[in-house]
């Protein structure tokens, strides 16, 4: 009997302690997608990346156009029975090599472009993270979740606009209204 009373008392103490710990949690949320889309530096970063890769992209496009012209010429010449098959085969091999080299250049370009975009995206997201952390600390939030993972939240728990202001963005509409 004594053991049952002790176990019950211990269970009640644990339940009371855990509910008090849960009551101490102060949780807010942000709409990370909205923050990223409205980040004040996002358009400038996109323009910077476009200009950084424009010359190389134009060069690859011109190279592709040149290869396509050579293919068209070869196909036209293949229709003429006066052309020697050995000469046509030689030109076809040259075009295949050009296409292979071009494809490798395109692959390298895409890898470098993706790498730079990820670097710049990480910088923007880091700014959002720092601003979110600072606001959460200032307002005493123990957790900040992304709005996509929140099923229900009390009014006043959305700190998206505060974070947007902290990163220097201008608010246009509330994130909840933007998703409706």
What residue spans define the domains of the chain? 2-178
Select from 130, 134, 164 the least CA-distant residue to 147.
Answer: 164
Query: What pLDDT was estimated at residue 151?
Result: 87
Task: Indicate the DSSP class of residue 135.
Answer: H
Bigger pLDDT: 37 vs 173: 37
Could you report the per-residue pLDDT of 93-109, keeping only the tens digit for each?
999 999 999 999 999 99
Residue 111 C-beta-side C-alpha neighbours within 13 Å: 6
Fold of the 2-178 domain: Protein Binding, DinI Protein; Chain A (3.30.910)
pLDDT, tens digit (0-9, with 9 covering 90-100), for 145-165: 999 988 888 887 899 999 999
Q: What letter does residue 168 receive in the DSSP assignment?
A: T
Q: Which residue has the tokens 């902290």?
A: 166
Q: Quick one: pLDDT at residue 23?
A: 53
93-105 burial code (b ≥16 CB/10 A, e <16): eebeebbeeeeee
């Amino acid at each position: 009997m004594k053991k049952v009373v002790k176990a019950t008392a211990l269970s009640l103490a644990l339940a009371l302690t855990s509910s008090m710990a849960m009551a101490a949690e102060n949780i807010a949320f942000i709409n990370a997608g909205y923050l990223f889309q409205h980040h004040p530096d996002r358009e400038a970063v996109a323009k910077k990346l476009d200009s950084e890769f424009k010359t190389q992209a134009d060069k690859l496009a011109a190279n592709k156009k040149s290869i396509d012209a050579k293919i068209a010429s070869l196909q036209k010449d293949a229709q003429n029975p006066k052309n020697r098959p050995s000469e046509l085969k030689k030109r076809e091999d040259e075009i295949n090599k050009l296409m292979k080299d071009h494809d490798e250049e395109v692959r390298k370009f895409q890898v470098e472009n993706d790498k730079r975009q990820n670097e710049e995206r990480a910088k923007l997201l880091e700014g959002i993270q720092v601003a979110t952390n600072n606001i959460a600390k200032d307002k005493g939030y123990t957790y900040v979740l992304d709005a996509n993972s929140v099923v229900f939240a009390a009014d006043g728990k959305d700190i998206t606009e505060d974070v947007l202001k902290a990163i220097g963005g201008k608010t246009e509409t509330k994130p909840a209204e933007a998703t409706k």
